[in-house]
Structure 1
Amino acid sequence: MEKILDPQWRLPVKSWCSSIEDSAMSQIANLAGHPALFKHIAIMPDCHSGYGMPIGGVIASESYVVPNAVGVDIGCGMGAVETDLNLSDIQDNRTIRSLLDAVKASVPVGEGHAHREEKGWEGFEAFLESIPDSPGWFSPAVWSLAKRNLGTLGGGNHFIELQHDENNRIWLMLHSGSRNLGYKIAEFYNNLAREKETRPDDLAYLSADSPGGKAYIRDMVFAMAYAAENRSRMMTAFKESLLDLFPGAAFIREINIHHNFAAREKHFGKDVWIHRKGATSAAGGEMGIIPGSMGTASYIVRGLGNPESFMSCSHGAGRIMSRTKACRELSVDECNAAMGDIVFDRWRMVGKGNRKNRHMLDLGESPLAYKNIDDVIDAQRDLVEPVVKLKPLGVIKG
């Protein structure tokens, strides 16, 4: 159930989060004083500090779009597929390992890993044909990388996971987004907003009716379609790998959703731009996915359409520990223990781009770095109804 934070702010803040770190609270206070926002700020139970705006934040504006309130991984989201296989069909961990290795053979995994050749998609040509001039973020190099990134997982908290539900039915799940394409679009329009508007900080905004605002909305929608296609191609590879091991398997239902987006919706009698950064739409009856960490449960949920959250819910468990803090304070033994008998690729060294921690193991995705997913679900039972609880059997991390 929501609670109201500091009543002295310009806009009220309604929070479903049991505790909020200081850095995220500062960002929330900044949002609450923002001149372009409407009604109130909604904070989901997975809230933690982000860039400009906390992850797990939902805002509305009647006339403006805020690029950093969508974020750099535009259209990032989740896909889940229920199969007709039973847990008893999975003979042992070697079967799970064979499946994960087969998926990795066709899906590049990790930041900076792309296909060697460019991938075709009708969306590329349709986008270029729909615009009069190339946008400022566009370059041959960006376009080529976007084509090679199509059907790739990326890094960070992106994952591909084999799961089973409480009836021992096997599920496939993955999490990924728009890769470098979304980053380039977000970076360009945030810089444009900082130049065009009077707010030169990380919450700069554009009039939705201005040339820049219209271009951002157009390019954001394209990035969302790209992200959905990216997930679709990886899920196809996942299904094909499963069918190689279990030729008679069937796929019963599929759910695909996104977070990190802005959409024109009607709330409290107004047509507004709803921005969900690390939050998911949860309209009445709408099916959604709320994943936990790589070692804990995930949930298939049904939205309850709560107007106070702008019909939104959390997009995951949410971090309690930054990647840097996790690498410095957690031990390999306790992280391994948290994973139990789940099949995964163990812990890699921190990437070269992180100079401070590059000689350390990357423990930033350990279950110990995340909130308890069951607590997060319990905190938003007025936003969603849990339908299926899923437990991981094997995980590929980005």
Structure 2
Amino acid sequence: MAKLKLRGKDLKDIGYPQTKAISLALDAMEKYYKKETRPKALAALKDVLTYPDNYLTHDAFSKVAKALLENKHTESRALNTERAPFKIYGEDQIEQGAKDQLYTALTLPVSRKGALMPDGHQGYGLPIGGVLATENAVIPYGVGVDIGCRMCLSIYDIAPSYLEGHKDKYIKILQEHTKFGANEVQKKPSPHDIFDREEFRTIPVVKRLKDRAVQQLGSSGGGNHFVEFGLVEISEEDNDFNVPPGKYVGVLSHSGSRGLGANVAKHYTDLAMKHTPLPKEARHLGWLDLATQEGQEYWLAMNLAGDYASACHHDIHKRIASALGEKPLAIIENHHNFAWKELVDGQELIVHRKGATPAGKNVMGIIPGSMTAPGYIVKGLGNEQSLNSASHGAGRQMSRTVAKRNITHSELHKTLADYGVTLLGAGLDEAPMAYKDITKVMAQQKDLVSLSGTFHPKIVRMDKA
């Protein structure tokens, strides 16, 4: 049998980068495969190139695999020249920076379809309000830092007049039973079976975060997170949550997965950016292949963080219900900053919703306005163009910095008085004027959701200014 003869050009022709991986591969073939046929040798080398992780301990190809992975981690991945299909809602009300971020995301090699909701504004990676479907890949910054950030509404059979007539009582309940920011925690954290989850034992980064997660259960973050009493008006007779049309007292909360989600996001975003380095404009959109260990770890950690966020809300609402001495008629909730496996045009894809509400057919949700504007109880219409999504709120029209610079305390106090809202905490960056008009946002997504009711804030608690 003739001796195998391969040259560097042969390896470049099958896709090998012009690095030391070529010389290492030629050495390996000379040592271990010199009597192999050329087609079989090239097939073996192609397999190493395609799946280097599988060869890290291989007798012949471990050095080749390591060299390939080193190169993969330092060489930027090329973006596609054409965008994946997309749809933008309320385009004339969305800043160009947010649209540009979506356009960049649509050129990722793994992107298949996208959308931008009418509350869209610029963020990191995907814009806030961005929806992106990818194939077998998850983008940590496409999910967001506050993994599983949620809305949760409890509706009580309490006359709305009680909120004004017994305002001090309701203020005291919020002051005593809600906690905000990095340092406030409940004095007696509630036991919860989420802490028995296997992920807290098997995923190193999650394991390190368990003690802090136990402490923070039942608390809310800073920024735009809140717990508030307000007036609920149910308008739809045949609703899915079995509350008759009428006016009620409600408790609405908005918060996420606290330090657990933030640290999971940072850890896996750093990994993704190393594994799939991208050009500068796309660098925050590094992804993890779901066929890899890191991709599977993130997927499990993300789902844990989402479930933890839900547990936090349930604990908050349970404490308030106990203080009220009432049981809610219904609880409605939804989350954003998450990724789901969903069928898109007949193919299973990973749908990222960064600041976008799931709005599949008949899926219930809450879309809040601001501390003086109404929120909406909605039911999804299952619009495939929006990837079964809707806005997650009104969306910012001023950045936090701009809001602090341009809004005065007297303006904020006057607006609160005009709407009869009592505010506990919060800074000027959360003033109602910093947000878009929620009625205009809702008008731009009539094809995405139908309305079942409204929520009008009356006593709002947020983190300290």
Determine whether 1:279 maps to 2:352. Answer: no
Query: Which segment drifts farther, 17-26 or 364-373?
Result: 17-26
Determine whether 1:165 maps to 2:232. Answer: yes
**Structure of higher RCO (CA pairs closer than 8 Å, 6+ residues apart):** 1
Match of 2:380 in 1: 303
- Among 232, 237, 260, which residue is 2:314 paired with? 232
Match of 1:48 in 2: 121
Deviation of the 1:337 alpha carbon: 2.1
Q: Give the conservation status (yes or no) of the 8 Å contact 1:44–1:279.
A: yes
- Among 204, 218, 223, which residue is 1:135 paired with? 204
**Aligned partners of 1:16, 1:76: CA distance in 2, in Å?**
22
Match of 1:75 in 2: 148
Determine whether 1:24 maps to 2:98. Answer: yes
**Aligned partners of 2:131, 2:459: CA distance in 1, in Å?**
32
Q: Give the conservation status (yes or no) of the 8 Å contact 1:280–1:314.
A: yes
Match of 1:115 in 2: 186
Match of 2:295 in 1: 213
Match of 1:336 in 2: 413
Q: Give the conservation status (yes or no) of the 8 Å contact 1:289–1:301.
A: yes
Deviation of the 1:138 alpha carbon: 4.1
Deviation of the 1:112 alpha carbon: 3.0
Q: Give the conservation status (yes or no) of the 8 Å contact 2:163–2:170.
A: no
**Aligned partners of 2:365, 2:412: CA distance in 1, in Å?**
28
Match of 2:107 in 1: 33
Identity %: 35
Instruction: Please report the TM-score for the alignment, with normalisation by the length of structure 1.
Output: 0.87
Match of 2:453 in 1: 388
Q: SS of the residue aligned with 2:348?
A: strand
Q: SS of the residue aligned with 1:112?
A: coil
Instruction: Please report the TM-score for the alignment, with normalisation by the length of structure 2.
Output: 0.75
Q: SS of the residue aligned with 2:93?
A: coil
Q: How does 1:235-250 map to 2 (within 5 A)?
A: 235-243=317-325, 249-250=326-327
Q: SS of the residue aligned with 2:360?
A: coil
Query: Which segment drifts farther, 313-322 or 191-200?
Result: 191-200
Determine whether 1:294 maps to 2:371. Answer: yes
Pairs aligned (count): 365
Match of 1:191 in 2: 270
Match of 2:56 in 1: none
| Cα distance per residue 1:138-170 (max 9 Å; x no partner) | 42xx32211111000111111111111344321
Deviation of the 1:9 alpha carbon: 4.7
Deviation of the 1:96 alpha carbon: 2.5
Shift in alpha-carbon separation, 1:128–1:287, aligned structure 2, 3 A: closer
Match of 2:284 in 1: 202
Q: Give the conservation status (yes or no) of the 8 Å contact 2:137–2:287.
A: yes
Q: Give the conservation status (yes or no) of the 8 Å contact 2:227–2:462.
A: yes
Q: Give the conservation status (yes or no) of the 8 Å contact 2:199–2:304.
A: no
Shift in alpha-carbon separation, 1:315–1:91, aligned structure 2, 3 A: closer
The structure whose Rg is larger is 2
**Aligned partners of 1:117, 1:9: CA distance in 2, in Å?**
54
**Aligned partners of 2:344, 2:435: CA distance in 1, in Å?**
32
Deviation of the 1:296 alpha carbon: 0.9
Determine whether 1:262 maps to 2:343. Answer: no
Determine whether 1:376 maps to 2:441. Answer: yes
Deviation of the 1:257 alpha carbon: 1.1
**Aligned partners of 1:117, 1:184: CA distance in 2, in Å?**
24
- Among 144, 153, 178, which residue is 2:220 paired with? 153
Which structure carries more helix by proportion? 2
Determine whether 1:327 maps to 2:404. Answer: yes
Q: SS of the residue aligned with 1:396?
A: strand
> Gaps spanning 5+ residues in structure 2: where?
1-80, 234-245
Provide the alpha-carbon RMSD of the alignment: 1.8
